[in-house]
Amino acid sequence: MDRTQSAKHRVVIIGGGFGGLQAAQSLKRADVEVTLVDRSNHHLFQPLLYQVATGGLSPANIAAPLRSILERHANTRVLQAEVVGFDLESRTVKLNEGELAYDSLIVAAGSSHSYFGHPEWSSLAPGLKSIENATDMRARILSAFERAERTDDPEERHRLLTFVIVGGGPTGVELAGALSELSRHTLRHEFRSIKSEEATIMLVDAGPRVLGMYSEHLSDEATKSLEKLGVTLCSGKIVTEIAPSHVVLTKDDQHETVGTETVLWAAGVAASPLAKMLADASGQEVDRQGRIAVNEKLDITGHDNVFVIGDMARCLDADGQPLPGLAPVAIQQGKYAAKLIARRSSGKSLKKGFVYRDWGSMATVGRSMAIVQMGKLEFAGYFAWLVWLFVHLMQLVTFENRLLVLFQWAWNYITRNRSARLITNTPVAITTKS
Amino acid sequence: MDRTQSAKHRVVIIGGGFGGLQAAQSLKRADVEVTLVDRSNHHLFQPLLYQVATGGLSPANIAAPLRSILERHANTRVLQAEVVGFDLESRTVKLNEGELAYDSLIVAAGSSHSYFGHPEWSSLAPGLKSIENATDMRARILSAFERAERTDDPEERHRLLTFVIVGGGPTGVELAGALSELSRHTLRHEFRSIKSEEATIMLVDAGPRVLGMYSEHLSDEATKSLEKLGVTLCSGKIVTEIAPSHVVLTKDDQHETVGTETVLWAAGVAASPLAKMLADASGQEVDRQGRIAVNEKLDITGHDNVFVIGDMARCLDADGQPLPGLAPVAIQQGKYAAKLIARRSSGKSLKKGFVYRDWGSMATVGRSMAIVQMGKLEFAGYFAWLVWLFVHLMQLVTFENRLLVLFQWAWNYITRNRSARLITNTPVAITTKS
């Protein structure tokens, strides 16, 4: 694990997501030695995970080996390892095997799900952060239809054909749209005992409307589209119980029990536990979402060579509001941290602090419909959907994956098929009767 | 699970592999009621699994949902379920949930690995029968390179870069060729501490030469190609021990210990345990490979409405030799059994027994080289490889998958990349130091 002593400035980057990968890429020509550490061997384009979960794309279509992406970076080394601690005084990162010394450290380990104080829900309501999450979700969704086909009990069948998505943000809305497409079109003629198109898809959100971060107009457009797709919207309700065969939704002390065996989690996120470790190591606190505060240069107080970027960082904008956990934030932060380190390592400095440039955001609602918000400009519909397609396609890291995804999207659009509908790595619990 | 009584002849097919799927497809226009039962939800094109295991293709590229394939068969129902027993007297198949009554039964549950009396080897030396097998093998192969990159111990590194493939049949040879391509080309510039191209790939076979079922000339051609690819051939040796960090190869009482942490199993196969169940239920014995004997009409003695086809059946050819466990055998048997059942159900009969028509066989050895044997005609080299490509492409069930595979093959051929190199669903044991 140790490398021979070198005079070069050593940069360790933790995490190969949007922020960490961008930082490594931005350091390509810098006179530094970069080590990128990630638990997994691939960069994952998380915004399209819901398409893997609903059988539209294969995992490898939206992922690329980190080694392969950084192959031509002569100054960069990739290590698949798990970070277990920090020693900020001796400037080392502790790995599950060995340790790494750094001169500058960029921590970009992202976030995982938060079950709002109910960690026991995680096995009942999988989220969507990794490939394993997506193939697990895919198996649960498809197995629910399989089990509904097998059973003779009308109540069980109804429960199996009820899907509850928790969280009305972009992921929840995109999942609901894709599930509607799957049940109403793709699977329509494949079963003999059930009508897949009669499946109930519920989208539960605590807020008054879905996609609450968008303008009211766009949110209304999305609502209308979801209703057309047959999605049952449950706004203003919170989930107060999740059990193997039902969930309880609560609004103003009114409890409603919904029979379901498939609950999909698209709600809370919590920063990687590495944020807490860093906070402990530097005598700070994390916020409610587990994020550590960073200064305007993205470093943490007391350690100007330790940068935290992306979902783990609590980084305030000009209005004093924390920046959202979005890919563009992480990417811009990765660029900034890399630039700062490159400057410093060549004896220069960077006076300007980090400023997030918001280029807008977008979400898709089923086939042929998306909403786009770019500052004051906002639009919804078919053209927005084409913009969504183009932007997402171009963000995939490899050219091969762009072509593979484009081909499959075109094919699925024409045939309404979703061919990656495999049930694999299935825990016994979801294939046998409960 | 029960269906309403119907006057129609009820055919139950167990297994959606080559034989079972073909039988269902051949019954499309027959006046019968078909139920196809499979443990998994997809038909899998096993001959290309080695490409999934080496990151060349994604699982969904070589698999298709059984429901989707049989969607337009109005007389056919697909059930994802596990068969747990037979009652041949009452003509029922027992499932993990419920049971199925049949008038005719086709059992086509295939085969799994045989570890020659060492079942404990299965966790150390995964085989290649299912998608889970292939993604497990992929994770082990890629993790070995990752761990070699991490370690400072030269002995451990050498062990991690030694891959032992057991079995010199088509699967073993194809795996060896693909592993050579992976280590010598795809991964070549991706590591910093190791040279991936220096990996040792050993192909162990008990027989005197690889691909022993082919002519000596073709076997020699394959041997030469494997040597050019840097594969170390260990013919005439048997594996007598497999441990987490070594294997023992034995020849004439000479034992040789080879340090390795990645052993890939491409040797013995054993018929599905359903063959034994059927044999017990009908008062018969299975042969050494666990197969049940079938008569010339592919039925089992004493039960002319119970057919066994594919890898599970011991079916003798004109010379009294059992037919090999190959896809074409299963497919032709599936067609025959379907035809016989269709005839009988309409009051006719089929006098002719099953005769296997051998159209030849082929195997590929790395890129641009294959061997083809068709009766007396045999050829090896680039043209044979093109034939191999074409035949395998056309055998994929869906048109979409043909295009996806063709595109990825072309891309991989030009770039030598293998983009589906994901380490997923990794057991802890293979990512942490032993």
Choose one of B291, B313, B345: the last residue of a domain: B345
8 A C-beta contact, residue A65 and residue B191: no
- For residues B372 and B286, state if they share a domain: no
Residues of A in contact with B431 (CB under 8 A): 80
Q: What stretches of A19-161 adopt beta strand conformation (E)? A: 32-38, 42-44, 63-65, 76-80, 83-87, 92-95, 99-101, 104-107, 111-113
Nearest CA in chain B to A152: B1
Examine residue A358 and state whether it is found in any structural domain, yes or no.
no
Interchain proximity B59–A422, CB inside 8 Å: yes
Task: Give exposure, B154-167, as e/b (b: 16+ Cβ within 10 Å).
Answer: eebbbbbbbbbbbb
Q: What stretches of A280-338 adopt beta strand conformation (E)? A: 292-293, 299-300, 303-308, 313-314
Q: How high is the pLDDT of residue A212?
A: 92
- For residues A253 and A340, state if they share a domain: no
Interchain proximity A407–B403, CB inside 8 Å: yes
- Round the average pLDDT of chain A to a whole number and report it: 93
> Tokens 């379901």 appear where?
A260
> How many CB atoms neighbour CB B30 within 10 A?
19
- For residues A123 and A241, state if they share a domain: yes
Interchain proximity B80–A191, CB inside 8 Å: no
| B72, B96, B425 member nearest A432 (Cβ) | B96
Kind and range of the H or E element at A67?
Answer: helix A66-69
Q: Which one of A143, A398, A419, A434 makes the best mutation probe of the B interface by having the most chain B beta carbons within 10 Å?
A: A419
Q: Which one of A70, A150, A157, A415 makes the best mutation probe of the B interface by having the most chain B beta carbons within 10 Å?
A: A150
8 A C-beta contact, residue B321 and residue B213: no
| A1, A398, A407 member nearest B150 (Cβ) | A1
| B80, B132, B400 member nearest A424 (Cβ) | B132
Tokens describing residue B94: 């027992």
Residues of A in contact with B193 (CB under 8 A): 77
> How many CB atoms neighbour CB A129 within 10 A?
19
Interchain proximity A190–B403, CB inside 8 Å: no
Nearest residue to A103 (alpha-carbon basis) of A4, A7, A3: A7
Mean pLDDT of A314-343: 96
Q: Which one of B84, B135, B189, B421 makes the best mutation probe of the A interface by having the most chain A beta carbons within 10 Å?
A: B421
Q: How high is the pLDDT of residue A1?
A: 43
Q: How high is the pLDDT of residue A160?
A: 98
Interchain proximity B419–A403, CB inside 8 Å: no
pTM attached to this predicted model? 0.94
CB pairs under 8 A between A and B: 150
Tokens describing residue B306: 């119970």
CA B34 to chain centre: 25
Interchain proximity A146–B41, CB inside 8 Å: yes
Q: How high is the pLDDT of residue A268?
A: 85
| A149, A407, A423 member nearest B407 (Cβ) | A407
Q: Which one of B190, B402, B408, B416 makes the best mutation probe of the A interface by having the most chain A beta carbons within 10 Å?
A: B190
Interchain proximity B424–A135, CB inside 8 Å: yes
Tokens describing residue B114: 């045989």
In A204-308, alpha helices (H): 216-228, 273-281
How many Å lie between the alpha carbon of B43 and the closest alpha carbon of chain A?
Answer: 10
Tokens describing residue B31: 């006046």
Interchain proximity B422–A59, CB inside 8 Å: yes
How many Å lie between the alpha carbon of B408 and the closest alpha carbon of chain A?
Answer: 8
Choose one of A345, A375, A390: the last residue of a domain: A345
How many Å lie between the alpha carbon of B130 and the closest alpha carbon of chain A?
Answer: 9
The letter for the amino acid at A282 is: S
3-state SS, chain B, equals CCCCCCCCEEEEEECCCHHHHHHHHHCCCCCEEEEEEECCCEEECHHHHHHHHCCCCCHHHHEEEHHHHCCCCCCEEEEECCEEEEECCCCEEEECCCEEECCEEEECCCEEECCCCCHHHHHCCCCCCCHHHHHHHHHHHHHHHHHHHHCCCHHHHHHHCEEEEECCCHHHHHHHHHHHHHHHHHCCCCCCCCCHHHCEEEEEECCCCCCCCCCHHHHHHHHHHHHHCCEEEEECCEEEEEECCEEEEEECCEEEEEECCEEEECCCEEECHHHHHHHHHCCCCECCCCCEECCCCCEECCEEEEEECHHHEECECCCCCECCCCHHHHHHHHHHHHHHHHHHHCCCCCCCCCCCCCCCEEEECCCCCEEEEECCEEEEEHHHHHHHHHHHHHHCCCHHHHHHHHHHHHHHHHHCCCCCCCCCCCCHHHCCCC
What proportion of chain B, given as a percentage, has pLDDT over 70?
97
Examine residue A353 and state whether it is found in any structural domain, yes or no.
no
Please report which confidence band the pLDDT of residue A5 belongs to, taking 50, 70 and 90 as the band edges: low
**Interior angle at CA B237, CA B231 and CA B239, nearest 5:** 95
How many Å lie between the alpha carbon of B314 and the closest alpha carbon of chain A?
Answer: 30
Q: How high is the pLDDT of residue A162?
A: 98
Residues of B in contact with A425 (CB under 8 A): 132, 135, 425
Q: What is the pLDDT of residues A49-95, one digit of tens each?
A: 999 999 999 999 999 999 999 999 999 999 999 999 999 999 999 99
Examine residue B305 and state whether it is found in any structural domain, yes or no.
yes
Q: How high is the pLDDT of residue A8?
A: 92
Q: State yes or no: pLDDT of A428 exceeds 70.
A: no
Tokens describing residue A66: 């980190």
> How many CB atoms neighbour CB B377 within 10 A?
8
Per-residue DSSP letter, A291: P
Residues of A in contact with B79 (CB under 8 A): 149-150
Q: Residues with Cβ < 8 Å from A231, sequence gap 6 or more? A: A176, A177, A180, A201, A202, A203
Nearest CA in chain A to B397: A419
Mean pLDDT of A156-161: 98
Please report which confidence band the pLDDT of residue A419 belongs to, taking 50, 70 and 90 as the band edges: confident
Mean pLDDT of A36-52: 96
Query: What is the C-alpha separation between B40 and B69, in angstroms, rounded?
Result: 14
Domain extent, residue B334, equals 9-39+81-113+270-345
Interchain proximity A419–B41, CB inside 8 Å: no
Mean pLDDT of A177-192: 95
Per-residue DSSP letter, A59: G
How many Å lie between the alpha carbon of B378 and the closest alpha carbon of chain A?
Answer: 36
- For residues A237 and A161, state if they share a domain: yes
How many Å lie between the alpha carbon of B93 and the closest alpha carbon of chain A?
Answer: 15
CA A296 to chain centre: 25
Interchain proximity B61–A64, CB inside 8 Å: no
Mean pLDDT of A107-115: 95
Tokens describing residue A13: 């980057």
Examine residue A207 and state whether it is found in any structural domain, yes or no.
yes
Q: How many distinct structural domains can be found in chain A? A: 2
Residues of B in contact with A190 (CB under 8 A): 65, 67-68, 71, 78
Nearest CA in chain B to A66: B190
Interchain proximity A149–B79, CB inside 8 Å: yes
Examine residue A57 and state whether it is found in any structural domain, yes or no.
no
Question: How far is the CA of B58 from the CAs of A420, B55, B69, B424, in angstroms?
Answer: 9, 7, 19, 12
Q: How high is the pLDDT of residue A366?
A: 87
CA B27 to chain centre: 25
Consecutive 10-residue averages of pLDDT for chain B (434 residues): 66 98 97 97 96 96 96 96 96 95 98 92 94 96 96 96 97 96 95 96 96 94 96 96 97 96 94 97 94 97 97 95 95 98 93 94 92 93 95 92 93 90 68 36
Nearest residue to A179 (alpha-carbon basis) of A213, A145, A136, A223: A145
8 A C-beta contact, residue B196 and residue B183: yes
- Strand partners of residue B63: B44
8 A C-beta contact, residue B48 and residue A153: no
- For residues A185 and A127, state if they share a domain: yes
Please report the ipTM that was assigned to this predicted complex: 0.92
How many Å lie between the alpha carbon of B61 and the closest alpha carbon of chain A?
Answer: 8
Write phi, then psi, for B183 (nearest 5 degrees): -75, -35
Interchain proximity B97–A433, CB inside 8 Å: yes
Residues of B in contact with A96 (CB under 8 A): 432
Choosing from B156, B174, B181, B221, which is the catalytic residue? Answer: B174
CATH at residue B15? 3.50.50.60
- For residues B308 and B284, state if they share a domain: yes
| A71, A187, A415 member nearest B189 (Cβ) | A71
Q: How high is the pLDDT of residue A434?
A: 32
- For residues A289 and A235, state if they share a domain: no
The letter for the amino acid at B427 is: P
Interchain proximity B68–A421, CB inside 8 Å: yes
Q: Which one of B431, B432, B434 makes the best mutation probe of the A interface by having the most chain A beta carbons within 10 Å?
A: B431
Examine residue A45 and state whether it is found in any structural domain, yes or no.
no
Nearest residue to A45 (alpha-carbon basis) of A410, A403, A398, A413: A398
Per-residue DSSP letter, A406: H
For A291, how many CA atoms within 13 A lie in the half-sphere containing its CB? Answer: 23
Q: Is B388 exposed, middle or buried (0-12, 13-18, 19+ CB in 10 A)?
A: buried
> How many CB atoms neighbour CB B312 within 10 A?
31
Examine residue A185 and state whether it is found in any structural domain, yes or no.
yes
Interchain proximity A419–B400, CB inside 8 Å: yes
Residues of B in contact with A68 (CB under 8 A): 190, 417, 419, 421
Nearest residue to B222 (alpha-carbon basis) of B280, B265, B172: B172
Please report which confidence band the pLDDT of residue A2 belongs to, taking 50, 70 and 90 as the band edges: very low
Query: What is the C-alpha separation between B69 and B74, in angstroms, rounded?
Result: 12
Q: What is the pLDDT of residues B275-313, one digit of tens each?
A: 999 999 999 999 999 999 999 999 999 999 999 999 999
Please report which confidence band the pLDDT of residue A188 belongs to, taking 50, 70 and 90 as the band edges: very high
Residues of A in contact with B146 (CB under 8 A): 41, 80
Q: Which one of B150, B182, B196, B409 makes the best mutation probe of the A interface by having the most chain A beta carbons within 10 Å?
A: B150
CATH at residue B126? 3.50.50.100
Question: How far is the CA of A431 from the CAs of A153, A257, B286, in angstroms?
Answer: 17, 24, 30
- For residues B233 and B382, state if they share a domain: yes
Tokens describing residue A67: 């080694």
Q: What is the pLDDT of residues B55-76, one digit of tens each?
A: 999 999 999 999 999 999 999 9
| A60, A193, A433 member nearest B419 (Cβ) | A60
| A41, A149, A432 member nearest B422 (Cβ) | A41
- For residues A131 and A85, state if they share a domain: no
| B60, B96, B142 member nearest A58 (Cβ) | B60
Residues of B in contact with A71 (CB under 8 A): 189-190
Active site residues of A: 174
- For residues B16 and B164, state if they share a domain: no
Interchain proximity A63–B422, CB inside 8 Å: yes
Examine residue B376 and state whether it is found in any structural domain, yes or no.
yes
Residues of B in contact with A400 (CB under 8 A): 408, 411, 415, 417, 419
- For residues A159 and A226, state if they share a domain: yes
- For residues A259 and A389, state if they share a domain: yes
Q: What is the pLDDT of residues A371-410, one digit of tens each?
A: 999 988 999 999 999 999 999 999 998 999 999 999 999 9
Pairing of strands B76-80, B32-38: parallel
Q: How high is the pLDDT of residue B432?
A: 36
